[in-house]
């Protein structure tokens, strides 16, 4: 009856979120079956009722593709477009084909976990397609809505090949891009629009590299078929084919940079004669450069064409004089790594002044002085992620680095700092290159896309790989964020206004996992706690080491500076709390909890108040005098683990919530329970007092939020349904954090989503759906305008709310 009335147009606001709720919160034994039933019910009965317009609205939607693929996988989706094709074609057969083709191309990505960003996938579609139009609009909405997401998105995504893309390059004037890969083809596109200019069936096997001449009239390709070919860039005609001299696959090709002398360099897996120079007017190679006896992966001319650098599986980079083809010097990259490690040098690139050569090997990028062969800089990444490629900007000190963990980073070599993370690729990034004027950057990947970026517009975004245990300082227009990344490095970044963002410092990779971090305003410092039990304090913004504090015997789970920054408080799995005068190393140990300390809070922000509240999985709350190290109160608060605690702003009460499904209010003067709040059906995970101390908000593991009167303990509102009793405002998981606005009219909650609520009506006003889920905490600015959080796949969100 509901479908017969054509009410399916509410899909985006109700049905999709109902599916998401089922998918995320109901155990697979019941939820998945029910969820699948409803999805099949919708499509089947809409098709049976012949509601073509409604079916069109449903199935030609990226939201629908995302939800159904996440739950059922891509195969049933593709089947739907085939099964209901006769109905859909009555509306628009072209659009049906576009969605069906998109699903066929992206099926292997849609089966991955974590589930990919469907918008990013769809941006690779032809610009004339409905799929691309919707993706483009959603990408723009991320930036233009009153809630904005801090992302570095490529300005153009090209999907040129069916198969891995091994190489892509700019023309020297920057107007064109060439790409090649496993499809055995060479394709040329406009760099502004992605419009295809040429397609060439280039080789009999995979094409491993392509390169333009300095005047962009010719393109060279090399392949696994051991051949090197030169093509007319405009007409796609084959001009030269060098097929006899390389005995193994040809890995790389590159032309000289200037008009002084046109030469082509190639390198291969040949055993000894593996680097060659070609004069295009001669049928055979002009010179062979000897010295390597293992496969050579890459070769690169210096900017002035005086030298050629070669990168080899033997762990060396060799520099050859182009004029004589003689070896000038060898840089032993292998010696920079531990003995016994196999070191393969993937590539090398030159600084604009030809004074430095930069190479990629294993999980590092190394910068060497050309004259002395001394190492000047080392950039290391996670041991589980390998550097695939690097390229130096021809006009600046920027270096682009491609990684096997799908990441692309920009580094400033002069300051030895990372400047940007460029997110979006869904598989290994094989190649990066700056345009000749440095204004653009391209990357190509095994995800079958070429992405183009504007160098000045990408900003540092820790969207990939940050841990959720973070801390944030709001200082007028500046936001400072500290968090560990997935390489176990501490990152401290700063953002001012709506555009400017930079990494203040990034630590070296730590040997022991970072589990918590906190910031101090005065003095400007950051602390981090580790699984080893060690606590370190670093200066901000220099990253200089200030102190190492040893004492905890197990993982440090929480840390916090006092208001004056002179005291650091830490808690650990070893059941103790330690109070450090961190500059001197003096320590007071607070012992008494029988199980892990869940967290702690100072009873007052006053610098003169030394009272500390701590709560634990043992069900107790303890009150401490941290100056004297004495326990003042020992309260058996709950039968189950205490999951959260909050002190009222007027410092007269504190609240506790527990796995026993209750919340309790406690009087601070008497330390007695004033009210027990019952009604939640699941663990009560979070609580927060309003700023006037008259209300308490509690959130549970079922996504339900309740508002209570502090005076009498009565229930005021349940914030889990919209005003019409619908399903749009379900929270998508645990409610992990809550904050009131300064005037107590609004409430923000974090969990599966971020939601803003009216305190008066209990209705959801707005929802932000992150790419991931399971938000652990949300940091809120004092004026309630800016919200910072990190999701379970490591994406940092900085959201701004319009007034």
pLDDT of residue 458: 72
Least trusted range by pLDDT, from 41-50, 178-187, 328-337: 41-50
| pLDDT, averaged across the chain | 84
Tell me what the mean pLDDT of segment 529-556 comes to.
95
Summarised one tens digit per residue, pLDDT across range 17-35 is: 444 444 444 333 344 444 5
pLDDT of residue 158: 82
| Residue 330 confidence (pLDDT) above 90 | yes
Contact 121/107 with Cβ under 8 angstroms?
no
Angle formed by the axes of helices 16-25 and 62-72, to 10°? 20
pLDDT: which is higher, 495 or 423: 495
CB atoms < 10 A from the CB of 52, how many?
17
pLDDT of residue 449: 84
β 471-475/663-667 pair status: unpaired
Angle formed by the axes of helices 85-110 and 130-144, to 10°? 60
pLDDT of residue 750: 93
User: pTM of this prediction?
Assistant: 0.52
Summarised one tens digit per residue, pLDDT across range 46-91 is: 555 555 566 677 788 888 888 888 777 777 777 777 777 788 777 7
Tell me what the mean pLDDT of segment 298-302 comes to.
97
Comparing C-alpha atoms, which of 182, 178, 189 is closest to residue 163? Answer: 182
* Chain position carrying tokens 């992150």: 770
Structure tokens at 636: 């058996």
Q: What is the DSSP letter of 466?
A: B
Contact 266/250 with Cβ under 8 angstroms?
yes
| Residue 725 confidence (pLDDT) above 90 | no
Contact 775/752 with Cβ under 8 angstroms?
yes
Concatenated DSSP letters of 430-454? EEEEE-TTSSEEEEEETTS-EEEEE
Summarised one tens digit per residue, pLDDT across range 582-606 is: 999 999 999 999 998 989 999 876 5
pLDDT of residue 771: 65
| Residue 553 confidence (pLDDT) above 80 | yes
- Per-residue pLDDT band at 384 (split at 50, 70, 90): low
Question: CA-to-CA distance for 313 and 294, rounded, in angstroms?
Answer: 6
Summarised one tens digit per residue, pLDDT across range 191-214 is: 987 888 999 999 999 999 999 999
| Residue 705 confidence (pLDDT) above 60 | yes
Structure tokens at 278: 């070609």
Comparing C-alpha atoms, which of 685, 692, 694, 782 is closest to residue 738? Answer: 685
Angle formed by the axes of helices 74-83 and 62-72, to 10°? 130
Q: Which residues, 6+ apart, have CB-to-CB distance to 389 below 8 Å?
A: 346, 347, 360, 401, 402, 429, 430, 431, 432
Question: CA-to-CA distance for 391 and 351, rounded, in angstroms?
Answer: 9
Tell me what the mean pLDDT of segment 213-242 comes to.
95
Summarised one tens digit per residue, pLDDT across range 598-633 is: 899 998 765 556 899 999 989 999 999 998 999 999
- Per-residue pLDDT band at 717 (split at 50, 70, 90): very high
**3-state SS record for 535-596:** EEEEECCCCCEEEEECCCCCCEEEEEECCCCCEEEEEECCCCEEEEECCCCEEEEECCCCCC
Task: Tell me whether residue 484 is exposed, middle or buried, using C-beta atoms within 10 angstroms of its C-beta: 0 to 12, 13 to 18, 19 or more.
Answer: buried
Summarised one tens digit per residue, pLDDT across range 341-352 is: 789 999 999 999
Tell me what the mean pLDDT of segment 252-274 comes to.
91
Q: Which residues, 6+ apart, have CB-to-CB distance to 192 below 8 Å?
A: 156, 175
Q: Chain centroid to CA 81: how far?
A: 32
| Residue 369 confidence (pLDDT) above 90 | yes
Tell me what the mean pLDDT of segment 766-791 comes to.
86
The pLDDT > 90 percentage for the chain reads 55
pLDDT: which is higher, 451 or 8: 451
Least trusted range by pLDDT, from 239-248, 668-677, 762-771: 762-771
* Chain position carrying tokens 């999907």: 159
- Per-residue pLDDT band at 501 (split at 50, 70, 90): low
β 478-484/238-242 pair status: unpaired
β 663-667/653-658 pair status: antiparallel
Residue 176 belongs to what H/E stretch?
A: strand 176-181
pLDDT of residue 113: 59
pLDDT of residue 14: 41
CA distances from 82 to 44, 46, 59, 103 (A): 13, 15, 12, 12
CB atoms < 10 A from the CB of 107, how many?
15
- Per-residue pLDDT band at 435 (split at 50, 70, 90): very high
Q: What is the DSSP letter of 509?
A: P
Least trusted range by pLDDT, from 7-16, 567-576, 673-682: 7-16
* Chain position carrying tokens 């304090």: 537
Task: Tell me whether residue 243 is exposed, middle or buried, using C-beta atoms within 10 angstroms of its C-beta: 0 to 12, 13 to 18, 19 or more.
Answer: exposed
pLDDT of residue 66: 84
CB atoms < 10 A from the CB of 589, how many?
11
- Per-residue pLDDT band at 459 (split at 50, 70, 90): low
Q: What is the DSSP letter of 485?
A: B
Q: Chain centroid to CA 303: how far?
A: 34
Question: CA-to-CA distance for 693 and 699, rounded, in angstroms?
Answer: 17
| Residue 722 confidence (pLDDT) above 50 | no
Question: CA-to-CA distance for 626 and 580, rounded, in angstroms?
Answer: 10
Which range scores top for mean pLDDT: 101-115, 203-217, 476-490?
203-217
């Amino acid at each position: 009856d509901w479908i017969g009335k054509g009410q399916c147009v509410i899909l985006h606001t109700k049905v999709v979120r109902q599916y998401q709720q089922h998918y995320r919160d109901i155990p697979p034994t019941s939820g998945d079956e029910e969820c699948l039933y409803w999805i099949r019910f919708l499509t089947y009965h809409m098709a049976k009722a012949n509601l073509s317009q409604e079916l069109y609205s449903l199935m030609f939607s990226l939201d629908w593709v995302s939800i159904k693929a996440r739950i059922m996988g891509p195969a049933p989706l593709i089947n739907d477009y085939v099964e209901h094709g006769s109905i859909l074609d009555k509306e628009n057969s072209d659009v049906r084909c576009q969605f069906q083709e998109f699903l066929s191309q992206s099926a292997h990505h849609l089966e991955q976990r974590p589930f990919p960003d469907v918008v990013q996938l769809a941006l690779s579609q032809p610009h004339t397609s409905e799929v691309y139009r919707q993706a483009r609009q959603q990408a723009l909405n991320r930036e233009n809505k009153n809630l904005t997401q801090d992302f570095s998105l490529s300005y153009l995504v090209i999907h040129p090949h069916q198969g891995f893309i091994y190489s892509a390059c700019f023309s020297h004037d920057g107007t064109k891009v060439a790409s090649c890969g496993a499809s055995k083809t060479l394709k040329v596109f406009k760099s502004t629009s992605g419009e295809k200019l040429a397609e060439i069936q280039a080789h009999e096997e995979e094409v491993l590299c392509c390169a333009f001449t300095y005047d962009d009239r010719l393109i060279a390709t090399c392949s696994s078929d051991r051949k090197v070919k030169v093509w007319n860039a405009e007409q796609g005609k084959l001009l030269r084919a060098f097929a006899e001299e390389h005995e193994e696959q040809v890995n790389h090709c590159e032309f000289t940079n200037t008009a002084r002398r046109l030469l082509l360099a190639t390198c291969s897996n040949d055993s000894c004669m593996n680097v060659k120079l070609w004069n295009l007017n001669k049928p055979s190679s002009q010179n062979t450069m000897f010295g390597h006896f293992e496969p050579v992966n890459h070769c690169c001319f210096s900017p002035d064409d005086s030298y050629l650098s070669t990168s080899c599986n033997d762990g060396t980079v060799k520099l050859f004089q182009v004029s004589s083809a003689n070896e000038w010097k060898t840089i032993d990259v292998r010696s920079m790594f531990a003995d016994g490690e196999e070191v393969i040098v993937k590539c090398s690139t030159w600084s604009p002044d030809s004074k430095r050569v930069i190479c990629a090997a294993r999980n590092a990028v190394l910068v060497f002085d050309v004259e002395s062969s001394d190492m000047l800089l080392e950039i290391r990444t996670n041991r589980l992620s390998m550097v695939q490629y690097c390229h130096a900007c021809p006009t600046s000190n920027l270096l682009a680095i491609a990684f096997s963990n799908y990441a692309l980073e920009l580094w400033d070599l002069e300051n030895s700092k990372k400047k940007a993370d460029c997110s979006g690729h869904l598989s290994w990034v094989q190649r990066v290159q700056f345009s000749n004027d440095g204004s653009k950057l391209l990357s190509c990947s095994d995800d079958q896309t070429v992405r183009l970026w504007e160098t000045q517009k990408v900003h540092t975004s820790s969207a990939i790989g940050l841990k959720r245990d973070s801390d944030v300082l709001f200082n007028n227009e500046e936001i400072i964020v500290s968090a560990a990344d997935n390489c176990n490095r501490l990152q401290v970044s700063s953002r001012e206004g709506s555009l400017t963002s930079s990494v203040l410092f990034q630590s070296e990779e730590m040997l022991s996992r970072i589990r918590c971090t906190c910031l101090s305003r005065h003095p400007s410092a950051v602390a981090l706690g580790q699984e080893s039990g060690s606590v370190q304090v670093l200066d901000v913004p220099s990253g200089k080491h200030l102190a190492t504090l040893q004492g905890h015997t197990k993982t440090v789970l929480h840390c916090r500076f006092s208001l004056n920054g002179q005291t650091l408080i830490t808690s650990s799995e070893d059941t103790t709390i330690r109070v450090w005068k961190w500059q001197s190393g003096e320590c007071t140990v607070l012992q008494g909890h029988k199980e892990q300390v869940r967290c702690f809070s100072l009873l007052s922000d006053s610098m003169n108040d030394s009272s500390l509240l701590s709560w634990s999985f043992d069900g107790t709350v303890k009150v401490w005098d941290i100056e004297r190290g004495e326990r003042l109160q020992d309260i058996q608060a709950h039968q189950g683990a205490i999951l959260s605690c909050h002190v009222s702003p007027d410092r007269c009460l504190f609240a506790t919530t527990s796995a026993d499904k209750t919340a309790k209010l406690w009087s601070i003067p008497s330390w007695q329970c004033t009210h027990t709040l019952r009604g939640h059906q699941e663990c009560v995970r979070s609580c927060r007092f309003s700023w006037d101390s008259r209300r308490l908000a509690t959130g549970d593991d079922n996504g339900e939020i309740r508002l209570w009167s502090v005076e009498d303990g009565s229930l005021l509102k349940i914030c889990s349904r919209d005003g019409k009793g619908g399903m749009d405002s379900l929270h998508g998981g645990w409610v992990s954090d809550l904050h009131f606005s300064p005037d107590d009219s609004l409430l923000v909650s974090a969990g599966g989503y971020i939601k803003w609520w009216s305190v008066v009506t209990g209705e959801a006003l707005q929802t932000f759906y992150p790419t991931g889920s399971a938000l652990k905490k949300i940091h809120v600015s004092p004026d309630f305008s800016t919200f910072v959080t990190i999701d379970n796949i490591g994406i940092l969100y900085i959201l701004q709310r319009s007034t």
